[in-house]
Amino acid sequence: MIDDCLFCKLAAGDIPATIVRETDRLVAFRDIAPQARVHVLVIPRDHYADIGALAAADPQLAGELAAAAAAIAEAEGVGGGWRLVFNTGEDAGQTVFHVHGHVLGGGVLRGLA
């Protein structure tokens, strides 16, 4: 746990969130400012700055995160079309430096990538 990390505090229960799924290693919760009908963030409880750091340190956990994202998309009713986005680095718009996958779905998604 990193003391000044928002998502470490959220995973520890020190900051309230609408949690949709959790395991001993992962927590998923609704984004506070949703950009799609379904917008859920999936994070590991342990602190890694970004997806590269997580995948290098614990590839199994990175895989668990991806599997959780797929299960959330199904549970939220968007299994037919969804995105898993990892903004990585300031130039990509990453604002919270505790790795989080954005699960985005609902309606028809268009745009980059």
Confirm or reject binding of residue 82 to ligand 5GP (CB under 6 A).
Answer: no
- To the nearest whole angstrom, how small is the minimum distance from the Cβ of residue 4 to ligand 5GP? 14
- Distance in angstroms (rounded) separating the CA atoms of residues 51 and 109: 23
- Distance in angstroms (rounded) separating the CA atoms of residues 55 and 30: 23
112-to-83, 85, 109 alpha-carbon distances in Å: 11, 11, 10
Q: List the structure tokens of 6.
A: 């928002």
**Span of 54-62, 65-73, 75-83, 92-100 interacting with ligand 5GP by CB under 6 A:** 92-100
Site for ligand 5GP in 30-69 (CB under 6 A): 30-33, 41
Active-site residues, by number, are 100
List of residues contacting ligand 5GP (CB under 6 A)? 6, 15, 17, 29-33, 41, 87, 93-96
